[in-house]
Amino acid sequence: MAVYAPADGVGGVEQVASAAYQALSASPCGAQLHLGPRRIVASRRPPSTWMSLTWKTHALVTATHPRLPGPSVLWLHGAELTRDRSRAHQLLRSRALHTSDVLLAVSPMAAQLLPPDVRRRVQLVGPPIRAGALPLGQGQERDSGELRLVSVGRAIPRKGHDTAIEVASLLATQRDVRLDVVGPGPDLPRLRQLAATKEHRKLRIAVHGAVAEHERDRLYASAEALLFLPRHEEGEYEGLGLVVLEAAAFGCPAVVLDCGGSRFGIAQGETGILLAATAGSEAIAAAVVELAGYPGAAAAARRYASRFALPDWQARVRAIAAGHLPAWTWPDTSRDLTREST
């Protein structure tokens, strides 16, 4: 399997490609990624007939496996490839759509963006989510009296970390608040400067940048809420928002802005609160307070994330590769309950 992606974009898509590779090859571990020429990230190709092409949040998997009969081409994709206007992507998209026996979509948004004539070949499989288990001694820290929030995603303006800082500042007028901002990217200097202007006795903000996976998981587990506040910017939007489901696996519910496919990450009023894309900081802060009062939100979030559990996800991919179409549907998000901004 060869995996290609922009050098600064290794993330959720490689997680999907690696999980698919493990499922179909019975390999105990995924292919390792390496920085290649032209700032392209590539994995070493093992002795098999695999190829995976990834870009942003999608993965094209061409698979011919000696032990698995069935379709020769599976395309796992998110949103960006379906709308990219570059000539190279148009050619890739056309080839994938017209030669694939089955199209595997990781989000409903991805499926909706496909042309009607190919949508009938789509099997919605969802993203693969690891169980939210922490090492011994790294339990939750939610009873300290401090409202703990986390904002996770690439440090670019579109991800809305700056809005999360403003929301935390509003909430800190009423109680002690800690906000952890996690994710690498070019916007870190601006975010740190903004955080420095907001911090005071009742507000602590840590802009971490990149952190190890176990540290990110600990922050999920200790937070009362994830703030996932992406915005539409220059034609870009969320295909799903994988971090919402990753946080849910650790019992961390979310307040989410409606941006592309971000609405599919929560069950409205149970595992989080979905707000209109135009919601301001005050409406978001009010939603955080409301969510913190949901007694069953953490347990509901774990149950929701379990629908995407990695072993079950890989079993679905194997079944499809063997020519069987498992009956699996996306959990109900009650997305008609999307709140209006105030």
Tens digits of residue pLDDT in 12-68 = 666 676 677 677 665 444 444 443 443 333 444 333 333 344 433 345 555 444 444
Does residue 164 fall inside a structural domain? Answer: yes
From 74-88, 117-131, 193-207, the region with the lowest mean pLDDT = 74-88
What confidence score (pLDDT) does residue 6 get? 38
Radius of gyration of the chain (CA): 20
Q: pLDDT, tens digit, for every residue of 252-272?
A: 999 999 998 899 999 999 999
For the question of whether the overall pTM of this predicted structure is more than 0.85, the answer is no
Question: Are the C-beta atoms of 151 and 243 separated by less than 8 Å?
Answer: no
Q: How many domains does the chain have?
A: 2
* Alpha-carbon span 259 to 107, nearest angstrom: 13
Rounded to 10 degrees, the C-alpha dihedral 296/298/299/304 comes to: 110
Does residue 136 fall inside a structural domain? Answer: no
Does residue 333 fall inside a structural domain? Answer: no
* Alpha-carbon span 52 to 46, nearest angstrom: 12
Identify whether residues 116 and 235 lie together within a single domain. Answer: no
Q: How many CB atoms lie within 10 A of CB 300?
A: 20
What confidence score (pLDDT) does residue 239 get? 82
Of 243, 246, 322, 310, the C-alpha closest to 20 is 310
Q: Which residue has the tokens 């109900």?
A: 332
Identify whether residues 253 and 270 lie together within a single domain. Answer: yes
Identify whether residues 104 and 174 lie together within a single domain. Answer: no
Does residue 338 fall inside a structural domain? Answer: no
Domain of residue 232, CATH code: 3.40.50.2000
From 30-34, 120-124, 130-134, the region with the lowest mean pLDDT = 30-34
Identify whether residues 158 and 46 lie together within a single domain. Answer: no
Residue type for position 90: Q
What confidence score (pLDDT) does residue 159 get? 95
Identify whether residues 121 and 162 lie together within a single domain. Answer: no
Domain range for 206: 147-303
Phi/psi zone of residue 241: left (φ > 0), alpha (ψ -120 to 50 degrees), beta? left
Q: pLDDT, tens digit, for every residue of 174-222?
A: 999 999 999 999 999 999 999 999 988 899 999 999 999 899 999 999 9
